[in-house]
């Protein structure tokens, strides 16, 4: 016997609660289904016809059977250049914000700068790159311009993930380092960074994945064409990337198999991005699961 | 007799060598300490420099427009025909705002619902499954979203509505909703998880059902965090280019219906900027539109900051 009586009011509340719970689960289920359907439809259209040949062949302007060799290479090359430039500066900025920045107006200003920079739409970085490289230096649309502009886009995100990773390092192990008479930089290099490394690497992968698929910046700074050679390391040749090629093929190309090329390019794009993300995240995810978090 | 003395001497010599080596190492550490201190400061200043460069380069070119086009024409005229020297950007501005609003109407209930599901309702195994899956969504390049919108969503909308090609702001809003969903969802999720447990316990102790706890205690308490998440989603939606360009139709007119082929600020810039002369009014007008995008993003970021400060004060 309980003292709790079931009134009409509570019964209605309980009914609603149950209904809402089902509602939330249905919503979640539908979204998950949508996500998996998306992934599967990208893969199922592109993967079956994917071959090594397609990955390394030259694109064709007129004939059926073109590949994506140079654009795939350009994608990695530009990504590499952008990371070379942005990782040292992004890490440095993140470390400064987490370790050095005093709590004053100046730091507040810096923080506003980082947030404002991270909100700048990617197309604006494209226009900046266009203005600097094509107009100011007059070198036209190049791999170098694409790489540098992409690096600018990466910077704020890198700074933020680094700051968060460094902040998450417990204070007591830092103090232990200071107690041994280490300098601040020595503590950062030998104690803080090794502990934060895993989150920083995850962050860099996230940024790299985003940069690999970025197209608005590259269209404006590296152009819609390639130099026509496979292993072209020249920084000053035009550098169409895979994401841009997907855009070009579906909007302007006149080859008969444009649709298939676009399907396959989309699949390759998604696979590479997922690989960049998963390869480094999977161990992290497993570890989290094991710890029951 | 000489041996011990010799021994002592060599020992002295050794220790003085050690001392000087230690001093050297100490000096090296102090040096690298100060060098890297400046390097880290330089890095963050480089970021500010980049921001300054963005504002300067875009703003400088944008301001050149006012020599040729009046402010009122740019902001209030709906006539964008650059070939005839008519640079009215009102249609793009209104389209950008309505596209963002429509995106939020679709995305916010779904994303916040997902966040509630993850944070409050789902069992642990489901949480650890959904969160990485949402991260997958973030990783998919925007051009692929656009391509899917073009090849899958547009035919579908065409069949359902029977109107034209199916492109327009509804298609763009649907694609954008999916793109901002993980952003809004994950940040709202964090905000909901951060609500102190005692609030929930107190509400349960009063006999509330879980729905009542969520609607009347948890969501209001996490309100500011959720609004920040929504605004962050808005900055993504306003600035997104390639996904929108592929499904919106790219015609310079006001989106009067959901299926009117139209154009927003970002899509118009990317479609036209490669074809114009650098020293032309057309180019200046495009830069003005980019500057407008910058201003919108900065205002949104400012709102998030103010909300964040209030939240810290309240806590």
Same domain, A21 and A125: no
- pTM, 2 dp: 0.86
Residue B42 sits in the same domain as residue B143: no
- DSSP assignment of A206-273, as one string? HHHHHHHH--HHHHHHT-S-B-S-SS---TTS-B--HHHHHHHHHHT---TTHHHHHHHHHHHHHHHH
Q: Which of A11-20, A233-242, A244-253 has the highest mean pLDDT?
A: A11-20
B175 and B86 co-located in one domain = yes
Closest residue to B29, CB basis, from A115, A186, A250: A186
- Alpha-carbon gap, residue A101 to A107, rounded angstroms: 6
Q: Which residues of B touch A266 (CB under 8 A)?
A: 144, 147-148
Residues A83 and A185 in one domain: yes
CB contact under 8 Å between A123 and B278, yes or no, is no
Same domain? For B40 and B85 the reply is no
pLDDT at A233: 76
Identify whether residues A14 and A101 lie together within a single domain: no
* 3-state secondary structure string across B165-205: CCCCHHHHHHHHHHHHHHHHHHHHHHHHHCCCHHHHHHHHH
pLDDT, position B24: 87
> Both B128 and B185 in a single domain?
yes
Residue-range definition of the domain harbouring residue B232: 71-314
Higher local confidence (pLDDT), B71 or A111: A111
Is there a single domain that holds both residue A27 and residue A106?
Answer: no
Share of chain A above pLDDT 70, in %: 90
- What is the domain range of residue A92? 52-290
Listing DSSP states for B271-313 in one string gives: HHGGGS-TTSHHHHHHHHHHHHHHHHHHHHHHHHHHHHHHHHH
State the smallest CA–CA distance between residue A229 and chain B in angstroms: 24
Q: Give the whole-angstrom CA distance, residue A162 versus residue A173.
A: 18
Query: Is residue A284 predicted with pLDDT exceeding 70?
Result: no
With contacts defined as CB-CB under 8 Å, which chain B residues touch A131? 57-58, 61
Low-confidence ranges of chain B (pLDDT < 50): 1-3
Residues B191 and B262 in one domain: yes
Q: Are residues B209 and B294 in the same domain?
A: yes
Quote the pLDDT of residue A288.
Answer: 63
Give the 3-state secondary structure of residue B260.
coil
Contact map slice: A 118-147 vs B, CB within 8 A: 119-128, 130-132, 134-135
Residues B48 and B189 in one domain: no
Looking at the fold, whether A42 and A115 belong to one and the same domain comes out as no
Q: CA-CA distances (angstroms) from residue A22 to A28, A76, B188? A: 10, 45, 21
What ipTM was predicted for this assembly?
A: 0.85
Q: Are residues B93 and B9 located together in one domain of the fold?
A: no
Here the CATH number for the domain that contains residue A274 is 1.10.3720.10
Predicted pLDDT at A292: 54
Best of A11, A75, A92 to disrupt the B interface by mutation (most B CBs within 10 Å)?
Answer: A92
Q: Within this chain, do residues A252 and A215 fall inside the same structural domain, yes or no?
A: yes
Same domain, B190 and B75: yes
Q: Tell me which DSSP letter residue A192 carries.
A: I
Residue B155 and residue B107 share a domain: yes
Same domain, A56 and A42: no
The predicted structure's pLDDT at residue B5: 52
For the ranges A38-42, A95-99, A254-258, which has the lowest average pLDDT? A254-258
pLDDT tens column, A144-186: 999 999 999 999 999 999 999 999 999 899 999 999 988 999 9
Boundary-marking domain end, from B67, B83, B103: B67
Whether residues A202 and A285 share a domain: the answer is: yes
Partners of residue B137 in chain A, C-beta under 8 Å:
35
**Are both A56 and A3 inside the same structural domain?**
no
Do A148 and A181 belong together in one domain? yes
Residues 6 or more apart whose CB falls under 8 angstroms from that of B54 comprise: A117, A120, A124, A125, A128, B294
Interacting residues of B45 by C-beta distance below 8 A, sequence separation 6+: none
The answer to whether residues A175 and A38 belong to one domain is: no
Q: Which CATH number covers residue B77? A: 1.10.3720.10
Using CA coordinates, name the residue in chain B closest to A101: B41
Task: Count how many domains chain A has.
Answer: 2
| pLDDT at res. B2 | 44
Tokens 């970085």 sit at which residue?
A: A125
Instruction: Verify that A37 and A166 share a domain, yes or no.
Output: no
Strand partners, B249: B262
Which helix (H) or strand (E) segment holds residue B266: the answer is: helix B265-272
What's the gap in Å between the CA of A183 and the closest CA on chain B? 6
CB contact under 8 A, A209 and B239: no
In this structure, are B88 and B19 located in the same domain?
A: no
Give the domain-ending residue among B43, B67, B91.
B67
Tell me the nearest-neighbour CA distance from A281 into chain B, angstroms.
Answer: 9
Domains held by chain B: number: 2
User: Does A93 have pLDDT greater than 90?
Assistant: yes
Q: Give the domain-ending residue among B40, B67, B94.
A: B67
Q: Say whether both B206 and B264 belong to one domain.
A: yes
């Amino acid at each position: 016997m309980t003292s709790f009586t079931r009134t009409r009011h509570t019964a209605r509340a309980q009914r609603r609660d149950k209904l809402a719970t089902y509602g939330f689960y249905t919503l979640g289920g539908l979204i998950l289904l949508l996500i998996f359907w998306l992934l599967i439809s990208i893969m199922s259209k592109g993967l079956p016809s994917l071959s090594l040949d397609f990955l390394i062949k030259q694109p064709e302007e007129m004939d059926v059977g073109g590949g994506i060799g140079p654009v795939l290479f350009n994608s990695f090359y530009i990504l590499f250049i952008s990371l070379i430039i942005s990782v040292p500066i992004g890490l440095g900025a993140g470390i400064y914000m987490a370790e050095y920045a005093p709590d004053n107006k100046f730091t507040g200003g810096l923080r506003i700068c980082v947030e404002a920079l991270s909100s700048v739409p990617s197309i604006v970085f494209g226009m900046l790159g266009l203005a600097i490289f094509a107009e100011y230096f007059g070198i036209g649309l190049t791999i170098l311009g694409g790489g540098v502009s992409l690096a600018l886009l990466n910077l704020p995100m890198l700074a933020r993930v680094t700051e968060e990773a460094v902040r998450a390092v417990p204070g007591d192990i830092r103090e232990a380092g200071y107690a041994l008479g280490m300098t601040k930089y020595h503590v950062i290099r030998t104690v803080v960074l090794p502990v934060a490394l895993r989150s920083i690497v995850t962050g860099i992968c996230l940024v790299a994945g985003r940069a690999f698929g970025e197209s608005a910046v590259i269209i404006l700074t590296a152009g819609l064409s390639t130099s026509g050679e496979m292993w072209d390391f020249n920084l000053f040749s035009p550098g169409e990337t895979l994401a841009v090629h997907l855009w070009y093929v579906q909007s302007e190309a006149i080859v008969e198999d444009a649709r298939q090329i676009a399907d396959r390019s989309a699949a390759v794009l998604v696979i590479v991005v997922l690989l960049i993300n998963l390869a480094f995240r999977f161990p992290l995810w497993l570890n989290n699961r094991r710890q029951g978090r | 007799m000489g041996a011990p003395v010799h021994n002592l001497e060599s020992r002295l010599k050794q220790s003085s060598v050690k001392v000087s080596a230690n001093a050297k190492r100490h000096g090296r550490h102090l040096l690298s300490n100060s060098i890297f201190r400046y390097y880290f400061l330089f890095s963050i200043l480089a970021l500010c420099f980049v921001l300054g460069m963005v504002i300067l380069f875009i703003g400088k070119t944008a301001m050149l427009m006012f020599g040729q086009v009046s402010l009122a024409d740019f902001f209030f005229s709906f006539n964008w025909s650059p070939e005839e020297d008519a640079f009215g950007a009102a249609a793009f501005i209104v389209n950008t705002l309505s596209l963002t609003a429509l995106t939020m109407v679709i995305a916010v209930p779904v994303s916040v619902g997902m966040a509630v599901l993850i944070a409050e309702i789902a069992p642990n195994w489901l949480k650890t499954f959904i969160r990485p899956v949402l991260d997958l969504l973030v990783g998919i390049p925007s051009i692929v979203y656009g391509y899917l919108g073009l090849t899958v969503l547009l035919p579908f909308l065409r069949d359902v509505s029977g109107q034209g090609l199916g492109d327009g702001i509804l298609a763009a809003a649907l694609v954008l909703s999916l793109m901002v969903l993980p952003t809004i969802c994950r940040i709202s999720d964090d905000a909901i998880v951060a609500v102190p447990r005692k609030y929930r316990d107190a509400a349960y102790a009063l006999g509330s059902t879980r729905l009542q706890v969520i609607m009347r205690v948890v969501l209001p308490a996490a309100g500011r965090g959720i609004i920040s998440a929504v605004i962050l989603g808005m900055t993504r939606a306003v600035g997104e280019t390639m996904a929108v360009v592929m499904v919106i139709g790219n015609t310079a007119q006001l989106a009067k219906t959901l299926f009117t082929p139209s154009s927003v600020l970002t899509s118009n810039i990317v479609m036209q900027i490669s074809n114009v002369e650098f020293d032309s009014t057309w180019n200046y007008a495009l830069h003005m539109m980019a500057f407008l995008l910058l201003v919108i993003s900065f205002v949104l970021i400012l709102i998030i900051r103010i909300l964040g400060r209030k939240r810290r004060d309240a806590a």
